[in-house]
Structure 1
Amino acid sequence: MTLIALREVQALKIRATVICAHEEHILFVRKARSKWALPGGKVEPDERPVGAAERELEEETGLNVDGLLYLQELKTRDTLHHVFEASVVNIDQARPCNEIVDCQWYAYGALDELDTTDATRHIVKSFLRRL
């Protein structure tokens, strides 16, 4: 790896992103004055992406992970997303927690109506193509 490539990798934010799907709906979360997003967040220096995915889903929605499936890696301009699909034990107990002000289940077809980032839209569309 060249020095320039190494610097680019070091400058990237590393994020774990979680798709939680149930009965043809996907769980989206929203912080105050923000767009709808998938649950997830920063991978801390001392953790692996899978651990961050589990932690972030619980911190943001109160859901407890039963299993995680690694789906893809997505690199945007300044972020590297590690994307997981989660199965959870308490699916009916999703609620906004911590900095999350709202969490809602949206039907697969509702994506185009939601105010989301391009990265979120890309991740969800990629997930839906697998089905």
Structure 2
Amino acid sequence: MSQSRELHSTVICLQAGKILMVRKEAPEWSLPGGKIDPGETQLEAACRELREETSLQLTDAQFLGHSVLPGEEHWLYRMNVAASMQPRPSHEIVECRWFSVAELSHVAVKPTNVELLRREGFLELR
């Protein structure tokens, strides 16, 4: 059986009740994370992607689980970010921003990320 799904490590970063989202050149926001490189563990990929996209170090991360979605699999981590730590866009990211749950309903969010946030209880089904 061939590998038909992309493998991703994804991090839900929380600070003062808000969720960190990142944006590339496209208008759609997403959670920090990305594809797992060959030979890399899921945790190593989460650390690398978070650092590449936001300049934040993954510390005291809680593994939330493995989610299988159409076309993608995600190993999901949660990290509380101290108020003294501010993300900075880097690599291919043009903007990092903290959103309340209410604010997320007013912006375009990658559908797979909406589903991950729903599964983890951050967003309610509408």
Matched, 1:97 2:106: no
TM-score (norm 2): 0.87
The alignment-based identity, stated in percent, is 32
User: What's the CA shift for 1:67?
Assistant: 1.6
1:44 corresponds, among 37, 42, 49, to 37
TM-score (norm 1): 0.84
State whether residues 65 and 87 of structure 1, in contact with CA within 8 Å, keep that contact through their aligned partners in structure 2.
no
Taking the aligned partners of 2:85 and 2:6, their CA distance within structure 1 comes to 31
User: How many positions carry a matched residue from both structures?
Assistant: 123
1:26 corresponds, among 13, 19, 22, to 19
Taking the aligned partners of 2:83 and 2:102, their CA distance within structure 1 comes to 24
Taking the aligned partners of 1:59 and 1:129, their CA distance within structure 2 comes to 25
- Structure 2: 5+ residue runs without aligned partners? none
List, as ranges, runs of 4+ consecutive aligned residues in structure 1 with deviation greater than 6 Å: none
Structure 1 vs Structure 2 CA RMSD:
1.9
The aligned runs of 1:46-125 (5 Å cut-off) are 46-88=39-81, 92-125=85-118
Rg comparison, structure with higher value: 1
State whether residues 69 and 85 of structure 1, in contact with CA within 8 Å, keep that contact through their aligned partners in structure 2.
yes
- Structure 1: 5+ residue runs without aligned partners? 1-5
